[in-house]
Structures are given as C-alpha cells and as structure tokens.
Amino acid sequence: MENNKFYYLTIIIFLLVSCQKEKDGFTIKANLKDISNGTLFYLESWDTRKKIDSAYVYNGSLSLEGKLNHPENLFLYATDSLSKEFIYTNLLIGNENIQFNATKQDFPWNINASGSASQDVAEKFNQIEFQRHKIREDLKNTFDGNKKLLSEKLAYLSDSLDNVKVALIKRNINSYSALGQLIQYYKNRFSKEELTNLYSKLNPKFKQSKYGKAIKMLVEFPAPDIGDKYYDYTAINQKGDTFSLSQIKNRYILLHFSSAACFPSQMSLPEQKKLYKQYGSNLEIVKISEDTDKKVWKKSIEKDSIPWFNLWDGKSTFSSAVLKYGVVGTPNYVLISPEKRILEKWFGYEDGIIQAKLKKHLEDNTH
C-alpha cells in the first residue's frame, strides 16, 4: 500500500511539473483607452522580426502570450482600425506577466509597463526618449521662425540626452536594456578603457552572452579612424559561397552596410550602379547585410539585382563587421584603399554623396 501511495504521489508530482512547464512563458495584458475596438496588434521579435502572437482589442482590453528562450526586445504594433494611425512600442521582457495601461498618446515611450525587471530598466530609457520628443516639439513651436537657432537647440538637446543615456548605461550595465542600448546605439561613445571597465563589471551570465562577447570584441577591435588599417570580414555571398574582404586585391573597396528595409539604401542603388560601371576594375562594392532573416536577405537580392558582392551572416548588430567598424544605423559606408587603409566613413545617403566621396580618391575614368 505504501509503495502504491508513493507511486501515485510521484505521478501527480510529475504531472504537475509537466503542466507547469507547458505553461511557462509570458503574458501581456493591457487596458487601452481611445484605441478602436477591432484594432489588431502584432507582437514580434525585434531581432528576428518573426511574429510571436497577435490579438484584437476588445472593449479596451488586449491579451497576448508566447514563450522566449531568454529576455529579448519585442516589437508591439498596430494600425488603429478606425483612425488608421500607426501605434507601436517596444517591450524588453522574459517569460513574465506584463501589464500596462495606456492611451494612444502614451505610445511609444510612455506606456509604463510593469511585471518585468528587464522592462523596468527599459522604462528608464523610454522616459528619456519621451522627454526628447516632448522637448523637441516645444522647441519647434518656440523657434519655428529661426531655423538656425532651432537646429542648434535640437543638436544640444540630442547630445545632452544622449549623455544621460550613456550615464544610465553605466549604472545599469548588468541589464539587457543597457547592454542593448550600448551595442546598438552608443558603442562609439565609450573609449576602450571604459568598455574594458564595463566588461569587468558584467556578471558571469552576461559575460557569456552575445552582449558580453560583443563588448569584448569592441575592446579588441576599436572602430578604425581615417588612415587606420581595415578589418577583414568573412561571410556567405549571394551565391552561397564563403567570401572574405581580403580576397579583393588591388582595388578600392566601398563597404555598404544596409538592410532590406533601409529606404535610403534603396535610393542609393542607381548611383552605386553608375559608379560601379564608371570605375570598372578600380572599384569593388561590398554590401554587408544586417538582416537576420535569410529569406528576407535573399528576396532583397532578387529585387535589387546588384552585380557586386552581397554578404550576410545573420547576426545583424552583433555581426563582427558591424561591431569592428563601429556601425550605428543604416546606410553606413566605408571606403577602403587598395592598400587596405580607411579613406572615408559616413552615415546616410543623399543624391551625389557617394560620387563626391569616390571622386576624391579614384581617377574619374571608365573601363
């Protein structure tokens, strides 16, 4: 009898544990004001852009759920079913129960979600962005007639709040939010010594994570300045072959950091195609994709029909090329000499800028 009791008790415990494991995951419950009934919200991974869940707003309530391997940045967005306004926010959560109350005006930076230690830190960064947008609108209204002064005020505002964020990163370095901010947006604001110090403060879990490994790479490979030697990079090309920058000999190399969703990069393609033909064997263009989804990358290759190398490793902002070259945002460009020295670095695209940069260094002839 005692054996039978032990047997049944073991089965019950096993079933309870199994049920608990099946229920492991996260829930997001929101009470929303002035967002129309029937508005469909989507939740997806910010890194992979894969859909996790979706749900309609019903009587001001929204409920979503899913399961994560580790805390990560999620993108929550919708188009209001009546007003057609786009609404979005980011949530940095793990398998936790998240709640928030919000009006349409609270999106994206002021929803004040609770239930996650990771999101608690993220909310501090969100509040800085909330203040940035609020003060920016006030400045625009105040200095609307003076574009030069408005530009100076906005630049000062941006730099001041970025400094606040950098300080916040330092104070909260053992958090997913601070590490994500550092790697994606602010890595170039830290010296090698500062990065070394921050790495030393990481707990073992974060040191072994992709964030810790990225900081270690930033320490070992500081972003090159003009005149510095280039960094080699190996990935697969559009033919599925492994390719390295070092395989390009006796040519100027234009690195173009981009993604399938980068509109300015699409705008730059006609100019790049013209210059690629103009400079012939003197120039090689290499597009380095920051897309995480291989299917998205391949589809962009088919659409763009570019004749130069298109490299992909699926690591996005954690790619060794992105980290070593200090790339923040897209499109980003780096011009390298045949001797493998950095000649030019710039962010963004406007008509004629690539031609102007190349003309300073390449002979203007065709082959």
Beta carbons of 104 and 122 less than 8 angstroms apart = no
Q: Where are the beta strands (DSSP E) in the chain?
A: 26-33, 40-45, 51-56, 61-66, 72-79, 86-93, 97-103, 234-236, 242-244, 252-258, 283-289, 309-311, 332-336, 342-347
**Residue in the block written with tokens 């995951």:** 25
CATH class (in words) of the domain with range 234-359: alpha beta
In CATH terms, the superfamily for domain 2-113 is Immunoglobulins (2.60.40.10)
Measured between its terminal Cα atoms, the distance across the chain in Å is: 93
| pLDDT tier for residue 145 given thresholds of 50, 70 and 90 | confident
Nearest 10 degrees: Cα torsion 146, 152, 155, 161: -100
Q: In this prediction, what percent of the chain has a pLDDT beyond 70?
A: 93
Give the CB-side neighbour count of residue 123, counting CA atoms within 13 A: 15
Strands (DSSP E) along 108-236, which ranges? Answer: 234-236
Chain segment 288-322, per-residue pLDDT in tens: 999 999 999 999 999 998 999 999 999 999 999 99
Which pLDDT score is estimated for 33? 94
Mean pLDDT of 61-76: 94
Lowest mean pLDDT among 26-30, 74-78, 140-144: 140-144
Domain layout of the chain by residue ranges: 2-113, 130-220, 234-359
Distance CA(42)–CA(321), nearest Å, equals 31
pLDDT at 327: 97
Per-residue pLDDT at 296:
92
**Which amino acid is present at 339?**
E
Summarize pLDDT for 164-198 with one digit per residue, the tens: 999 999 999 999 999 999 999 999 999 999 999 99
Q: What is the pLDDT at residue 46? A: 87
d(CA 234, CA 230): 13
CB 211 within 8 A of CB 180: yes
Match 């020295």 to its residue by tokens.
Answer: 341
